[in-house]
Amino acid sequence: MKNMEHLNRNDWFDRIAKHNNNRQYKAMFSSWVGGVVTDPALMLVPIDDHMVHRGDGVFEAIRVTAAGPYLLKPHLERLFASAEKISLKVSLNIGEISQVCENILEIAKIPDESSPGEGMLRIFISRGFGDFSPNPYTTQGSQLYIVAMSFTPLALEKYEKGVSLMISKEPVKPGRYAQVKSCNYLPNVMMKKEAIDKGYDFAMNLTAEGFVTEGPTENLLIVNSAGELVAPKFDYTLRGTTLVRTLELAEKLSQGMVSRVYLADLSVDDLRSAREIMMVGTTLGVLPVTKFENALISGGRPGPVAQQLHELLGRDMGLSYS
């Protein structure tokens, strides 16, 4: 690049402000700075934080409704479990982080009258800043970053018509990494890219044994040919907080809709013969899949179990789905 400008502090921040004005981002807490900002241009993370250049950190995404952060405690428990699996020390406890979440939501005014019941908390715990090496012992200590943002649900059309799902060629994360919600999401990104490039809404991958797992950010749930509600075992997938709650809520399904609820190894053939397939996640709720690869599921229409589970989950969140 010719004629590269040497900017002073004010010019630097002026240019950041021009490029970083996303109004979705309402507030950010940073332990690095020691406070909260509401200007998106100031929502920054050190480039030498190991979360940035090594993916060395863990995170959670939490839906916020008029009733408050949905499943906050289970999400934070999973956050701490992920941190423990990679020996990442967290300076605050669950109660203290919960309080930070409450405070930042109040500052961010989420939810508010312009978007009632619609918000997200993005929580990150990083290994910390200090250098560009892969050595986890050279940082200045772990850091906590929390972003409160507005949230726009998926278009209603997706729930009325259903979405498409394909099998990805991306390999499953090995061993314990499948149960760690780390900031190294490159395999997930590539899986999503593969789906979009091939004209699908979602993709999921397979274990070496041929068992189906999960999508980039979503869990899978099916009603099998026997009328049973089944999700893949958590042996090789992330233990989905929303999925676990959905399975609990399945007890409230209308009598006779499903005969049993459980976890199992699922094959591609199980999906092909399924009465219904659903993607389940924090931002999705319960989303019906009406096309799997080249086959129509449930006659190409959302099935009754997906519809009722989505409504049950919505009410549990404090929302009203119709």
Catalytic residue, from 181, 192, 252, 291: name it: 181
Residue 142 φ then ψ, to 5°: -65, 150
Q: State how far the Cα of 187 lies from the Cα of 193, in Å rounded to an integer.
A: 10
Mapped to the 3 state alphabet, what secondary structure does 132-176 carry?
Answer: CCCCCCCCCCCEEEEEEEECCCCCHHHHHHCEEEEECCCCCCCHH
Q: CA nearest 29: which of 127, 130, 107, 114? A: 107
Output the six-digit token pair for 19: 């490029």
Can you tell me whether residue 83 is helix, strand or coil? helix
> Distance (Å, rounded) from C-alpha 221 to C-alpha 132?
40
Residue 177 DSSP code: G
**Is 181 a catalytic site residue?**
yes
Backbone angles phi and psi of 62, in degrees to 5 = -125, 125
Catalytic center residues: 181
